[in-house]
Structures are given as structure tokens and as C-alpha cells.
Structure 1
Amino acid sequence: MPKLTIALDDVDHELLDLLQHDSGRTLRELGDLVALSPSAVKRRIDRYHKHGVISRQVTVLDPNRLPAVMLAVCLVTLERESSRHHETFRRRLLAASEVQQIYDVSGDWDYVVMVACSGMAHHTEVADRLFNEAPNVRRYTTLFVLDPILTSGVLPTRPPHT
């Protein structure tokens, strides 16, 4: 999917930052924080959705408060480098509800895949389904998360002020 650019002003950057930290605020609360009316805030948020800046809104759970959650980082290298093989592998990952994040990376590994499971047996089933049974996976290794210290999904919208 091609990246579409959207012009963002200082208020947009501030509003996007506020939304990333707590999207549950009311339009009035957000407006008070960025000096806009609730209707102006709504128009901006609608524009972010229209241009894909906001792709979806979710509730972020704290994995430290959910004892049954097992997080793992899986590093994966594919056998062949064709775009068809990569696309097939990506579709397999995108179809798995346990996959939380997927990164196409440079270096010795082709992908970093973040997985959330309900225990070791579940993880074994997921690893078999996603990696062992995949025809194009050359190798993978799993790093189990011992302590999820920070699980933020907050992205910078501009370089920091210097």
C-alpha cells in the first residue's frame, strides 16, 4: 500500500500525540488541551481516519496484569527471496490472531514477529502452524519475553524539538 502524505500542523502533532496516549478522552477534553472546539477536533480526527493516519482504535491491555499471557519475539529467515514467497508468508502471519506485530527487517533475519499466546502449549501450536509447517521458512528462533517493561505503541509524528 503506498504511503499517502497528509500535511500536519503543530495542533495536528499535539492532537495525535494526545490520542496515542489516551484515545478515550472526549472531544471537549481534547479541544481544551489543543485550544479547539470539539467540532474542530472531530473534523481533524475524521481527516486522520480518511487519510489512514489513524488506522484503527484499540484498547491496550497490560500484559503484566494478565498472568495467562506469554509474549514471544520470533526471528525468522525465509528460504527464498522471491516476492511471491514473502507475500505467502506475510499472509500466513496476518491470518493468525496470535501475531501482534510483524516487521520486515534488514540483517541476518528477514522478519521479527511478535506473538502473544496463552502458555507454552499454545505457543508450540502457533510456532508449528506459522513456522514449522511453512514451506519457505529456513530457520527461526524464539525469544520469550520475561518482563514486558514497556509495551507502548506511541509513534513520533515529527522530529523532537532541539
Structure 2
Amino acid sequence: MTALRLDETDHHLLALLQKDSSRTLAELGEVISLSPSAVQRRVDRYRKAGLLDRQVAVLDPVKADALLAVCLVTLAKESNAIHAAFRRRLLAAPEVQQLYSVSGDTDYVVVLASTGMAHHREVADRLLKDAPNIQRYTTMFVLDPVRAGLSLPTKR
């Protein structure tokens, strides 16, 4: 990724894009006092540098009737090959919404999205229960997704 120098306008534009990327270039430009073509040049620069990874539609988990679960996973053995195999298996599963390698007693935090309890059991069995080198895992079901954000800060 190319290192980017971001000015205040960049930070403002990135915040707007993270909130709602469906806004037109003209709408964005009006808010940040730039022409649509200047906004497009900045967005192109973010893409070229790899800062703007992709644009997606974000579904409301409650309205989509999704069952979300947070799983804490501890691997039985510590080796790069075991971690790599675990990551590959989980990254290949569409039900894995988020995957974090973390510090502490747990090796990974996995957020699973499924269509209901039966689907969750099938996914958890396939990815965690029947998987090699997993010492233990704990599942916590999301009762109320109070805040599920995707925005990242771009400045301190």
C-alpha cells in the first residue's frame, strides 16, 4: 500500500464515505467544498493506495433476521502452520463475518452470522467443533446488536 498524506478534507471525505458511500460526487463535494471531479480524484487516489478497500451494502442484522454469535477460540498448539490452516478454513466460510487474532487467553475472536440456530449449529460444528487443533471455544449469542459499526478513524 502506498503511504498517503491525508489533509483535513481527506479525513472529512473519508468519514462521509464510511457513513454512506452511495452519495453522489456532487453531494459529497458540496459538503466538503470541492468540485465533483476533485472528489473523484481523491477517491481514485484512496483506491490506488489501497486505503479504500471496497464498497459494500450493509444489511441491518435485525431486519435480515440474522443470528449473530461471537466465538472465542483457543488453539491447542502454537505454530504458524496451525494458525494458517485455521485462518484459511475460517476465511473460506461465508458465515464468518469477522475474524480477529487477539492477545490474552483466547487466540481468536470469530463473529459468525447464520440464518438461525440450526444453521449456526451446522456452521459451528463444521468450523470449530470438528476442526483439528482447537482446544476450546465459547459461543456468546448476540441478543441485541446495539452498535455494529464499520467506520475506522483516519486521524487522532
2:71 maps to 1:74: yes
Letter paired with 2:36: P
Equivalenced residue count is 156
**Unaligned stretches of 5+ residues in structure 2:** none
Greater shift after overlay, 110-119 or 128-137? 128-137
The match for 2:80 is 83
* Unmatched runs of 5 consecutive residues or more in structure 1: none
1:149 counterpart letter in structure 2: V
| Aligned-partner residue type, residue 141 of structure 1 | T
Q: Secondary structure at the match of 1:46?
A: helix
Describe the superposition over 1:88-143 as per-residue Cα deviations: whole angstroms up to 9, x where unpaired: 10011110000101111001100000110001110011011111121111110100
TM-score, normalisation: structure 1: 0.93
| Residue pairs, 1:51-70, within 5 angstroms | 51-67=49-65, 69-70=66-67
Among 138, 148, 155, the alignment partner of 1:141 is: 138
The equivalent residue for 1:158 is 155
Structure 1 segments of 4+ aligned residues over 3 angstroms from their partners: none
Q: Does 1:49 align with 2:47?
A: yes
- What is the TM-score of this pair, normalised by structure 2? 0.96
Partner of 2:91: 94
- In structure 2, how many angstroms separate the alpha carbons of the residues matched to 1:157 and 1:9? 10
In structure 2, the residue matched to 1:119 is 116
Q: Which amino acid aligns with 1:117?
A: S
User: How many Å separate the matches in 2 of 1:6 and 1:101?
Assistant: 26
1: distance between equivalents of 2:24 and 2:120?
38
Distance 2:132 2:2 in 1: 34
**Could you say what secondary structure the match of 1:39 adopts?**
helix
The Cα RMSD (Å) is 1.0
Shift of 1:66: 2.1
Per-residue deviation, 1:58: 0.6
What percent of counterpart residues are identical?
A: 62
Residues 1:36 and 2:34 are matched in the alignment: yes
Distance 2:2 2:78 in 1: 27
Q: How many Å separate the matches in 2 of 1:52 and 1:79? A: 35
The 3-state SS of whatever aligns with 2:29 is helix
> 1:2-60: per-residue Cα shift (whole Å, max 9, x none)?
x6532111111000000000000000001111111111111111111111111111111
Deviations along 1:54-85, whole A, 9 cap, x unmatched?
11111111112122x10000000111111111
